[in-house]
Every structure is written in structure tokens, then in C-alpha cells.
Chain A
Amino acid sequence: MKASSAPTPPLIVIGSGLAAYTLVREWRKADTETPMVLITADDGAGYSKPMLSNAHSKGQSADDLIQLTAEAVAERYQAEVLTRTEVLHIDPTTRTLHLDNGSTLVWGQLVLAVGAEPIQAPLEGDALNRVFSVNDRLDFARLQSELQGARQVTIMGAGLIGCEFANDLVSAGFEVDLVAPSETLLSGLVPAEVGDALKQALMDAGVKFHLGPLLSRVDRSQSGKLQVSLTNGQKFATDLVLSAVGLLPRLDLARKAGLAVNRGIQVNKYLQTSDPSIYALGDCAEVEGLVLMYVMPLMNAARALAKTLAGEPTAVQWPAMPVTVKTPACPVIAYPPRSTGAWQIDGSGANLAAVCREGESIVGFALTGERIKERNTWLKAVPPLLAS
């Protein structure tokens, strides 16, 4: 066989989350010829992760959230989809992937869209198997089956995911206790006044807060329920614990392959790792020092990478992208400042507009309730996340 008729080596994507599937969809628009292989550790069903923390109160099951099955992805995007398959090792020298089924694959271009892993809080007790976290659709299916017959849920963590689940589960009729070491909600994202407005709205909805202490133990009790213990000595009963204390980019494969890693897999504005044929996208990637684990940067980056992989090098340009916290009791939109500044709060009750200024410049904002309508006004005033 002549070299010119050798098959084109495929684009290989590791992962089947929102990053991987947005990339696949956009890339196929530009390149209908190059073969593609998708490798995923789960069932490969396409769904949108942000929907997980709002689905239960709407009566949606994990299967309801499936937008495309792995078979449909294979057909629609002319892809080979390897489900329930783990990549054991990436060899950049020979551009070879070693899979847990014993086979190997050679890539033309490789994209790591492996996501992030929930942080495991250090806990003690004899009921740690009743502590759950929801990082993907199959986790959500497990949570839903555990919620059958449960009445009381304890959530660990007062960040975006903890607050969204607290709102969703209290709306679905559960008694919700939320435990977090921070003094306010969404700390790091919004000023205390805004966190307090959300807290008041969630308290009005029925959520009980235990802010300050850590959850330290989960034990079985004679009543058939669980008993959780906090570091301030408080104990209370619950049916299950949902941990939402944060995510860390998955680095193992990249690190073992010798790729540059820091907090995430380090990539340039073209999402290229330290190996020119390997790219990283989504929650696992650190783009010019930024690890932004939310949906808007990911969608934006996937579109740029699709063009780059199709032969039109396109740098990621991130405008100011706000974080939307889906808490219907008190919706929040925030653009946290990347520099230090002074917050000014306008409004009252659940309707606040907080603006962060450094000198004359507006560097961040946080809006709640009715004031979220001002998002575009403030978005125009703040600096972009990653300029060209």
C-alpha cells in the first residue's frame, strides 16, 4: 500500500461529557472525512451536566436527561464510540493509547476531555457508604434511587452545586440540612451580602443551615436513620448525605504521559498541551492559568478547538462570562473579580446588585432576584476573562 493511501489516523476524544460532545458536534460540521473515536468510561449517553442539580424537583429521571445515546452519537457524527472503556496509558512518543480491554489505538490528534473529580471530604463513621456525590448522570441515577423513601437529606458544601441541590431538594419536599465551614454561601464567587440574600431565601424555603463547622462523622443509628456529627459537637439525624465540596481536574493520565500539569492540564490559547498533537478541553484544562469549571467557557472553548482541529488554528477568546447559579428561590448571576477591589451593594432583601470596583474600573459584579436583569449592563463594563 502506498503511503498516500494509508488511512488518516483518527481524531480521538477521551470523555463523553458536555465538553467532548460539544466539540464532536462542532468539529463534524467542519470535517466530515477524518475518522473519529470516542472513548468513555461510562455509557456514553450525551446529557448536559448543569441539568443534574435541577432535575429532581422537575420529576426528571436520569434517563430523561439523555439527549443522545452512544449509538445515536456514533451514527450522527460518524464516530466509533467505545463505552465502558478506560484509557490506561497515553504514550506521546508513538501516539498510542493503551486501553483496559488490551487493545491499542494510534491517534492523529488527541483531545483529553476527562473532566473533574469530586473532592472527597475526610470523614469518619460506619455509614460512609451513605455519602454520595453527583458528578455525572449515573451518579444522579444512584442519588435518585437513594432518595426513594428518604425524607431528610444533608448537603455538605455551600458552593454553587451545594446551593443548587439544596434548592432543588427542598422544592421536591425533602428536609434539607446544609453544612459548610464557610460563614456565607457562594463565598469566593459573591460578597457576603449576596450570599446572605440567597441564604435567607433558602431558609424561607425550609433549608436549615449549619455554617462554620465541618461535618466529621456519619454513623448508623438504631432508628434506621443516620446520625451526622459536626465539629462543633452538634449531631442530628438524616437519611443520606450529599457531598458537594468541590471538584479537582483529572490529571492522572496527563501526568503519567509526561504532559505539563498544574491545577489542570496546562494548555495554551489553542488548548494545546505541552505535546503538540494532544489537546485538553473543559473541566480538566488549565487555559493560560485559568481553570474555569463551568459551562460557558467550555462551550466557547469547544467551538474554538473544533476549528483548530479542522485545520483553522483558532485561539480561545473568552469574553466576560458570568456564572449563573440556578437557585429559583433567589437566582444569582456573578462575575467574580480576578483582582482585589471594593464591593458596593445596592438594593434590599432578595434583590441586590453588588458591584466590585478597583479604582475607577469595574472588575466584578453579583446580582440576585429581580436585579439579574441588569446582567448585560454590567457585563459590558467588566474586563474579558481571556483577551486575544
Chain B
Amino acid sequence: MRKWQCIVCGFIYDEAEGLPEEGIAPGTAWEDVPDTWACPDCGATKDDFEMIVL
């Protein structure tokens, strides 16, 4: 499982946790997050995310 960080605001998408409150189940890989999804903190789109190494 990986983590992805929004390059605009720093929000982290953790694949292990998903975003259940947005209908994205725990364990959802980044590739499977819908293209229409936007960062909940700043509205940046999927294109604006990059992977961070932990």
C-alpha cells in the first residue's frame, strides 16, 4: 500500500485507509480512485498528486 501527497496543499491519500466518507473503500489503489476525484482540502485534481516515499 502506498501514500500519495497533493502537491498543492499537502493532503495525503493513504491507500490502506482509503476515504470511506467519500465512498472510497480502505485498500483502494490510487489507480482505482475515479478520475473525477478532487483533493478534499484544496480541490486539486488527480493529475496534481504525486507519490511520496515513506
Contacts and interface: CB of A to CB of B under 8 A. Distances in A.
Interface of A: 18, 48, 50-51, 54, 67, 295-296, 299-300, 321, 324, 326, 373-377
B9 A295 contact: yes
B43 A295 contact: yes
Contact of A324 (B21, B22, B41): B41
Contacts of A54: 10
A299 B21 contact: no
A17 to B, nearest CB: 12
9 contacts: A50-B8, A67-B7, A295-B9, A295-B41, A296-B42, A296-B43, A300-B43, A321-B43, A374-B21
B42 A373 contact: no
B10 A326 contact: yes
Contact of B9 (A50, A300, A321): A50
Closest 8 CB pairs of A and B: A299-B43, A295-B42, A324-B41, A296-B43, A48-B8, A376-B21, A50-B9, A296-B42
B52 to A, nearest CB: 11
Contacts of B44: 299
Contacts of A321: 43
A149 B7 CA distance: 30
A50 B40 contact: no
A260 to B, nearest CB: 27
A48 B43 CA distance: 13
B41 A296 contact: yes
Interface in B8-51: 8-11, 21-22, 40-44
B10 A51 contact: yes
A210 to B, nearest CB: 29
Contacts of B43: 295-296, 299-300, 321
Nearest to B22: A376
Contact of A375 (B10, B40, B42): B40
Nearest to A46: B7
Contacts of B21: 373-377
A277 B51 CA distance: 40
Nearest to B50: A67
A178 B45 CA distance: 35
Contacts of A374: 21
Contacts of B8: 18, 48, 50, 295, 299
Contact of B7 (A48, A326, A375, A377): A48
A295 B40 CA distance: 11
Nearest to A294: B42
Contacts of A375: 21, 40
A299 B38 CA distance: 11
B11 to A, nearest CB: 8
Nearest to B21: A376
A14 B53 CA distance: 35
A263 B36 CA distance: 34
Nearest to A319: B43
A296 B10 CA distance: 13
Nearest to B11: A324
B9 A324 contact: yes
Contact of A299 (B10, B22, B40, B42): B42
Nearest to A18: B8
B14 to A, nearest CB: 13
A326 B42 CA distance: 12
Nearest to A377: B21
A158 B20 CA distance: 33
B9 A48 contact: yes
A213 B42 CA distance: 34
A222 to B, nearest CB: 42
Nearest to B38: A299
A375 B11 CA distance: 14
Contact of B10 (A50, A67, A373, A377): A50
A23 to B, nearest CB: 14
